[in-house]
Amino acid sequence: MIIQLHKNISTENLSVIHHTLEKQKYSVTSVNTQFENYLICIGKNEIDIRSIGHLKGIKDIHRVSDSYKLVSRKWKTDYTKIDLGNNIYIGDGTPTIMAGPCSIESEEQVAKIVGHLIKNNISIMRGGVFKPRSSPYAFRGLGIDGLKMLYEQCKPNNIKIVTEVMQVSQIHEMIDYVDVFQVGARNSQNYNLLDALGEVDKPVLIKRGVSGTIEELLHSAEYIFSKGNERLMLCERGIRTFENIYRNTFDINAIQVLKDKSHLPVIADPSHGIGIREYVPKIALASLFAGADGVIYEVHEKPEEALSDGQQTLNFMESELLINKINAVKSLLN
Ligand code: PEP
Ligand code: MN
């Protein structure tokens, strides 16, 4: 059960509510986000919500049978829309495009890609600076200097930045330069990181784990929400299956299931989802038709020379063609 409280609830009224819930054997967690105050009540007994509904300070009460509560659509029927500022929204009914290199490599590389995004009216750029790599000998990113390099060129052009944070200690050094924190597939169940991201007021894009179930992804989002941050989006990026002809199995089913189970925006990552450059645009389009609120994909001036994930990265021509196709089908998507 979720109880929404009035923001200005008095301490006396709050303690009456707590007392009543304890008597009913509920375990209660207080959640105060940037927007609302909630009590998450977990209990074995079914109670008549009218027995608490009359208490002062309560705005609304919802029964939520899912094991994840705050991210469930059972209590919040309106889908969440994320405002990034400068009239840039995610989940507003038009598909969001986020594009950029797998890794930030140099000022020149960033300048070229920023130019490509401006030319095509794309206002969110992805680019990793802390890179989780399967091999320790692979390029692991430029770190905070790379992020500052990205920021210097994005900020004056009103381009928002989405980039991966790998550990709690990086949040503080990154926060002034980031518009959306990305939690990578490998960190999808790093609960310390999720807890810490619950305490910042920046949107978070949470990727599904490499072998993560849909419910595990929803619970990961619940970790962040329950620590105070409601500005979340879920990302399907492919999962590991027995099939190994492509990098991952892009789970298109997950998009509709997530839209049904949660009010959070769902973003598709076709680049990591299939891992093969020539198939990426088709999977991107398919994911939008499957109901995704947006796509995040990798683009580079010269994918063959990219320091990471070149095999799944579009060049500017391919990216432009995809953007044009997305724009052309926009009106068919709702
Ligand atoms: C990335 O976005 O570059 C990345 C490493 O993605 P994932 O965590 O999905 O593997
Ligand atoms: Mn990548």
Per-residue pLDDT at 50 exceeds 90: no
What is the pLDDT, as a whole number, of residue 221?
A: 99
What is the pLDDT, as a whole number, of residue 129?
A: 98
The angle subtended at Cα 240 by Cα 234 and Cα 244, nearest 5°, is 135
What is the best residue among 182, 240, 247, 311 to mutate for testing ligand 1's pocket, by most ligand atoms within 8 Å of CB? 182
Per-residue pLDDT at 45 exceeds 80: no
Q: Please provide residue 329's backbone torsions phi and psi, each rounded to the nearest 5 degrees.
A: -100, -5
Q: Which of 230, 237, 236, 240 is nearest to 263 (CA)?
A: 230
State the pairing for strand pair 124-126/96-100. parallel
pTM value > 0.95: yes
Was domain 2-62 assigned CATH 3.30.160?
no
Give the pair of three-digit tokens for residue 230: 């409601």
Q: Which of 25, 33, 20 is nearest to 222 (CA)?
A: 33
**Which residues fall within 8 angstroms of residue 212, CB to CB, at 6 or more apart?**
185, 188, 189, 220, 239
Q: What is the pLDDT of residues 86-115, one digit of tens each?
A: 999 999 999 999 999 999 999 999 999 999
Bridge partners of 126, per DSSP, are: 162
Average model confidence (pLDDT) across the chain: 97
What is the pLDDT, as a whole number, of residue 244?
A: 96
Per-residue pLDDT at 46 exceeds 80: no
Give the pair of three-digit tokens for residue 91: 């989940």
For atom 4 of ligand 1, the residue with the nearest CA is 184
What percentage of residues in the chain have a pLDDT greater than 90? Answer: 96
Per-residue pLDDT at 205 exceeds 80: yes
Domain ranges of the chain: 2-62, 82-333
Give the pair of three-digit tokens for residue 197: 């991201």
Q: What is the pLDDT of residues 122-153, one digit of tens each?
A: 999 999 999 999 999 999 999 999 999 999 99
The CB density around residue 240, as the number of other CB atoms within 10 Å, is: 14
What is the pLDDT, as a whole number, of residue 77?
A: 87
Per-residue pLDDT band for 44 (boundaries 50, 70, 90) equals: confident
What is the pLDDT, as a whole number, of residue 140?
A: 97
Instruction: Give the ligand at the shortest distance from the Cα of 180.
Output: 1
State the fold for domain 82-333: TIM Barrel (3.20.20)
Spatial separation of the C-alpha atoms in residues 2 and 198, rounded to whole Å: 18
What percentage of residues in the chain have a pLDDT greater than 70? Answer: 100
Atom of ligand 1 at shortest range from CA of 308: 3
Spatial separation of the C-alpha atoms in residues 52 and 41, rounded to whole Å: 12
Spatial separation of the C-alpha atoms in residues 105 and 111, rounded to whole Å: 11
What is the pLDDT, as a whole number, of residue 41?
A: 96
Atom of ligand 1 at shortest range from CA of 102: 3
> Number of C-alpha atoms within 13 angstroms, CB side, residue 94?
10
Per-residue pLDDT band for 10 (boundaries 50, 70, 90) equals: very high
Q: What is the distance in A from the centroid of ligand 1 to the CA of 185?
A: 6
What is the best residue among 133, 134, 162, 164 to mutate for testing ligand 1's pocket, by most ligand atoms within 8 Å of CB? 164
What is the pLDDT, as a whole number, of residue 59?
A: 96
> Number of C-alpha atoms within 13 angstroms, CB side, residue 120?
27
What is the pLDDT, as a whole number, of residue 334?
A: 78
Residues framing ligand 1 (Cβ under 6 A): 102, 128, 132, 184-186, 207, 237, 269, 272
Spatial separation of the C-alpha atoms in residues 206 and 290, rounded to whole Å: 19
Q: What is the mean pLDDT of residues 177-196?
A: 98
Please give the DSSP secondary-structure letter assigned to residue 6.
Answer: P
Q: What is the pLDDT of residues 237-284, one digit of tens each?
A: 999 999 999 999 999 999 999 999 999 999 999 999 999 999 999 999
Spatial separation of the C-alpha atoms in residues 185 and 325, rounded to whole Å: 28
What is the best residue among 129, 183, 205, 237 to mutate for testing ligand 1's pocket, by most ligand atoms within 8 Å of CB? 237
The CB density around residue 111, as the number of other CB atoms within 10 Å, is: 14
Give the pair of three-digit tokens for residue 271: 């680049």
Helix extents (H) in the chain: 11-23, 50-53, 107-119, 143-154, 168-174, 191-197, 214-226, 252-261, 270-274, 280-289, 316-329
